[in-house]
Amino acid sequence: MNVPTALDELEIQLLHPAARAPERARRNDAGYDLRCLAPVVLGPGAREKVPTGVAIALPAEICGLIVPRSGLAARHGVVPTLGLIDPNFRGEICVTLMNQGGEMFRAEAGDRIAQLLLLPFWAPALTVVDALPPSPDDRGASGWGSSGR
């Protein structure tokens, strides 16, 4: 696997005159803020696909994850569904926003609605086997709650 340890530059395309480039609020922030292209209104329990007007060119072995903005989630209960952007995708980034709160939510065009997190990934060839090797500790197949409280 040949994963770059740092990207000096990532090419983006603004697909609409009102689109804004993803940006980090602070220099050391991990996520790039994504903004809605047009106003969006979500009633309680509603979800909607929200365009950003942005496309990106990810290098091989780097993916993008759409993740929540913690303040938006904490204050309004509005979160994006987890979204995966593959390195071969060159279309518009859209965010599926969900209102898990109890009140109407409104975002204006240009409001920050989610974050883009860039991550290296590993995609090896898969091999079907009759049995897996033992785990390095005694966990084995023990699942949810197996380590106690």
Confidence check: pLDDT of 100 > 60: yes
Listed in order, strand segments (DSSP E) in the chain are 11-14, 32-35, 40-42, 47-51, 54-57, 62-67, 78-80, 83-85, 94-99, 105-107, 112-120
Report the pLDDT value the prediction gives residue 138, as an integer from 0 to 100: 74
Confidence check: pLDDT of 79 > 80: yes
pLDDT mean across residues, the chain: 92
Confidence check: pLDDT of 77 > 90: yes
Q: What is the pTM of this model?
A: 0.85
The tokens for 31 are 């996520």
In a 13 Å sphere around the CA of 119, the CA atoms on its Cβ side amount to: 15
CATH class of 11-120: mainly beta
Q: Which of 13-22, 45-54, 132-141 has the lowest mean pLDDT?
A: 132-141
Q: What is the mean pLDDT of residues 42-65?
A: 97
Within 10-128, residue ranges assigned H as helices are 70-76
- 40: which DSSP letter? E
